[in-house]
Amino acid sequence: MWSRLLGTAAFACAILLLAATPASANSALEFFADAADSAIAPDSDSLDITGTEFTMEAWIMATGPQNGDGIIINKEDSYEMALRAGDTFMFALQAGAWDWFGGGKPTMNEWHHVAVTYDGTISQGWIDGGEAPAGTKANGLDLVAQTSPFQVGRRVCCGTTPFLGVIDEVRVSDVVRYPADFDVQTREFETDANTRVLWHFNEGAGIDIADDSGNGNDGELEGGPQWTSGAPIGPAAVDVRDKLTVTWGSLKIPY
């Protein structure tokens, strides 16, 4: 009996290990400062955020000084963030004044989490979980929706604006996710009721980009961005306890 029990336990552990192994790739998207390159999705109601609660965020690794705006996320005349003037993190929100604000210089050739929040009082830039220097803009107006497409890595406006570097884990939300300094998440974001678009960039091949928000904001690549390995964070953690319960519950131990 004990030999059968041990054999069954080994089998259960094998199933558990397989269940805990992510099936998806863990890739990111590299841009080469080419004005023809972007990841793009058409306008939709879920991308048109209004009101006074907002967060946009991404993981980035600049591979050199930006030539121009170095766009990370853009929905023209609505919301955008970029590395400007070579390496300065800045943002613009259409809530009464469409203009650049912000500061802070993410180091090149290293991964950084960058985010922008708006709470109806101030808009705030964040770098690696801390407030970006000179990254606050006082405001009190509602965000304004526009019909422009949603883009990563480029804006179709205003001269040379493409990003130079790698981008991963792009999320836009209709809630203030970071009201104070925070610990940067070490796993991929998971969608919730406030997620408007979430691109993991785990496809690793082809031109299609899946939106994990449930809102159908799928995109595609334009130009020549390249899939690359070495993404900064891994897939969301598996709840081992649930997997173990399901696994043992499905086994019948022979006596």
CATH number at residue 79: 2.60.120.200
Over the stretch 83-131, which tens digit does the pLDDT of each residue have? 999 999 999 999 888 899 999 999 999 999 999 999 999 999 999 999 9
Confidence of residue 137 (pLDDT cuts 50, 70, 90): confident
Task: Examine the domain organization and report whether 83 and 3 are in the same domain.
Answer: no
Six-digit token pair at 4?
Answer: 């059968």
Over the stretch 37-59, which tens digit does the pLDDT of each residue have? 999 999 999 999 999 999 999 99
Per-residue 3-state assignment (H helix, E strand, C coil) for 171-215:
EEECCCCCCCCCCCCCECCCCCCCEEEEECCCCCCCCEECECCCC
Task: Examine the domain organization and report whether 11 and 60 are in the same domain.
Answer: no
Residue 86 DSSP label? T
Question: What's the structural domain count of the chain?
Answer: 2
Task: Examine the domain organization and report whether 46 and 117 are in the same domain.
Answer: yes
Task: Examine the domain organization and report whether 15 and 37 are in the same domain.
Answer: no
Task: Examine the domain organization and report whether 15 and 135 are in the same domain.
Answer: no
Residues 170, 185: contact at Cβ < 8 Å?
no
| CB proximity list for 54: less than 8 A, separation 6 or greater | 79, 93, 116, 117, 118, 143, 172, 173, 174, 175, 176
In the predicted structure, residue 250 carries a pLDDT above the cut 50: no
Six-digit token pair at 180?
Answer: 């104070």
Over the stretch 28-37, which tens digit does the pLDDT of each residue have? 999 999 999 9
129 vs 2, residue with greater confidence: 129
Task: Examine the domain organization and report whether 50 and 110 are in the same domain.
Answer: yes
Task: Examine the domain organization and report whether 104 and 1 are in the same domain.
Answer: no
Domain carrying residue 3: 1-22+238-255
Closest by CA to 61, choosing from 164, 186, 166, 162, is 166
Confidence of residue 79 (pLDDT cuts 50, 70, 90): very high
Task: Examine the domain organization and report whether 155 and 255 are in the same domain.
Answer: no
| CB proximity list for 132: less than 8 A, separation 6 or greater | 89, 102, 103, 104, 124, 125, 126
Is the alpha carbon torsion for 131, 137, 141, 144 positive or negative? negative
Element (H, E) at 237: none
Task: Examine the domain organization and report whether 94 and 7 are in the same domain.
Answer: no
- What does pTM read for this prediction? 0.84
Task: Examine the domain organization and report whether 94 and 4 are in the same domain.
Answer: no
Six-digit token pair at 106?
Answer: 């993410």
Task: Examine the domain organization and report whether 63 and 129 are in the same domain.
Answer: yes
Task: Examine the domain organization and report whether 197 and 249 are in the same domain.
Answer: no
Give buried/exposed letters for 71-89 (b at 16+ CB in 10 A, else e). bbbbbbbbbbbbbbeebbb
Closest by CA to 36, choosing from 154, 122, 120, is 154
